Amino acid sequence: MRVLIVGGGAREHALAWRLSQDSGVEIIGAPGNAGIAAIGRTVPVDPSDADRVVALAQKESADLVVVGPEAPLVAGVVDALRDHGIEAFGPSREAAQLEGSKIFSKEFMARHAIPTAGFAVFDDPDSATRYIQEANRPLVVKADGLAAGKGVIVASNAADAIAGVDRIMRERAFGGAGDRVLIEECLVGQEVSYHVVSDGVRFIPLAPAQDHKRAFDGDEGPNTGGMGAYSPPPVVTPGIEKKILDRVVQPTLRGMAAEGRPFRGALFVGLMIVDGEPLVLEYNTRFGDPECQTLMTRWKGSVLPLIQGSAQGDFAGLTPEWEAPASLCVVLAAGGYPGSYEKGTPIHGLDAASALPHVTVFHAGTALHDDTVVTSGGRVLSVTAIGESIDEAAERAYEAVEKIDFKGKQFRRDIGWRARSG
């Protein structure tokens, strides 16, 4: 079976790695990275260019296409593949609006009584500024469109919130994603990630995880695409998980179907747990990165029935099983990330880290240059380990982190701190 993986990050490497463990599965990455190249082939292609992706799938006679990142989903790559009779994992363009527009998603939540923070929408910066000045309290300012996880400003005061509006709407830091802004009430609690995979009618819940968005230890510094994650977080008790499924997941999928946008693919709900109650921060219409790395390493057996069942619209009674009780992922980033950073720096110690038991090193911003693996992005590697506990997984992951070196390497040393004993 030939599987085309669209995207080139650690999430795509994790999916490729798990799928490649099935006998007879051949992996092609588009564009892939150095890690995916080690388990299959890679072809340079723009993941958001639907025509090029379709042409590649046809040329390679792909049996299944797995679309990893959000931008191709919002661009309608899955629609184009299905229009050509090609089996594809991921939501349609219409369903991907849950992530493609934060304003659409908030208004959707309001229509379907899904618990979330209060909000207001603005299409000009002056009105947004006046609202912030009158509110004069902590707020969250979000660019409406896709901004690679960086278009969110959590502001503790009015000045910071106004600066966020200026950055998004006046300075156009995120381009057209900042045509409109969403301003939300600031929720205080623990943030968690919850994934389900849907076939358009049914859904299969996966394990909860907790991401670390801030660049530096102690949740300091700017927001990033994610500096690490672990699964499962203790805050998601069985009771809270039931609330997430009953009050968020089920009404979301029912609502999407009722509005003519049935959801197939991975639905990742970002939640804030406030006094034991889950409130939705945002929807993502694909696996999270780095959460996917923790889920794929914990997964037991073949993940192909999950992915293919969703793509075909029929799970046929699949029940997930977990190989490991815990997993933890540490992201190694280039110096300067999430700002400007150097590329083309050689990476050393990958073999030594990968040789450690219960450790898997997933590539993100990497490339091959004369048979040498070099950096090519801000988030370079996701060093992931499994264990009987979060403590054990963390110990193994950080042992592997120390074996890897490249100029400017930066990482957080406190991934999983809420669940670790030391």
Predicted pLDDT of residue 327 = 98
Together in a domain, 80 and 150 = no
Pairing of strands 210-211, 181-185: unpaired
414 inside domain: no
Q: In CATH, what number is assigned to the domain containing residue 334? A: 3.90.600.10
Query: Across the chain, what does the average pLDDT equal?
Result: 95
Together in a domain, 156 and 197 = no
Together in a domain, 257 and 331 = no
410 inside domain: no
Q: Is 350 helix (H, G, I), strand (E, B) or coil?
A: helix
Together in a domain, 295 and 204 = yes
| Exposure class string for 257-290: b at 16+ Cβ within 10 A, else e | eeeebbbbbbbbbbbbbeeeebbbbbbbbbbbbb
Together in a domain, 337 and 273 = no
Is residue 7 a contact partner of residue 33, using CB atoms and an 8 Å limit? no
Together in a domain, 227 and 171 = no
Together in a domain, 242 and 132 = no
Take residue 137 and report the two structure tokens written for it. 């309290």
Together in a domain, 209 and 306 = yes
Which structural domain range is residue 381 located in?
327-403
388 inside domain: yes
Together in a domain, 213 and 300 = yes
385 inside domain: yes
379 inside domain: yes
pTM over 0.85, yes/no: yes
Q: What is the pLDDT of residues 243-295, one digit of tens each?
A: 999 999 999 999 999 999 999 999 999 999 999 999 999 999 999 999 999 99
285 inside domain: yes
376 inside domain: yes
Together in a domain, 217 and 294 = yes
Q: In what helix (H) or strand (E) does residue 243 lie, and over which residues does it extend? A: helix 238-243
Q: Which of 64, 90, 116 is the last residue of a domain?
A: 90
| Exposure class string for 175-210: b at 16+ Cβ within 10 A, else e | eebbebbbbbeebeeebbbbbbbbbbebbbebbbbb
Is pLDDT above 90 for 147?
no
Take residue 74 and report the two structure tokens written for it. 């919002």
Q: In CATH, what number is assigned to the domain containing residue 222? A: 3.30.470.20
Q: How far apart are CA 145 and CA 167, in angstroms?
A: 14
Together in a domain, 297 and 207 = yes
Predicted pLDDT of residue 115 = 97
Domain total in the chain: 4
420 inside domain: no
Together in a domain, 302 and 339 = no
Is pLDDT above 90 for 320?
no
**Mean pLDDT over residues 138-161, rounded?**
88
The structure tokens 């503790």 sit at 156
